[in-house]
Amino acid sequence: MKFINPAELKALIDSGADFQLIDTRDAEKFETCHIPGAVSIPQLDLPYKLDLINKDMKVVIYCIYGMKSEQVYIYLKDKLKIKQLFILEGGIYQYATEIDPSMDV
């Protein structure tokens, strides 16, 4: 598994790089708080929304703490064979703690 830490993700966002950021938490949690630019694809909906994922670009997935993202990572690697797939280390909680403390996680 490949990981990206919050500082690296922030630098990626700030650089304007072309990548896809996927929030795998429940839609309600996404509505309350998410990392700007993220797309909401809840983990349970994933099998029905694979067409929303661009397997030809860098994809970063996150959940609340990073643990549930490991299952999503394995699933996406198996189904879509994404070459540049990353998990946000520590999830949105660590991102909020280190990058944007104003986030209501």
pTM: 0.95
Laid out side by side, the sheet with 85-88 consists of: 3-4, 85-88, 58-62, 19-23, 39-40
pLDDT tens digits for 50-77? Answer: 999 999 999 999 999 999 999 999 999 9
Q: Specify the fold of 3-98.
A: Oxidized Rhodanese; domain 1 (3.40.250)
Distance between CA atoms of 61 and 73, rounded to whole angstroms?
8
Buried b (16+ CB within 10 A) or exposed e, 56-82: eebbbbbbbebebbeebbeebeeeeeb
Number of alpha helices (DSSP H) and beta strands (DSSP E) in the chain: 4, 5
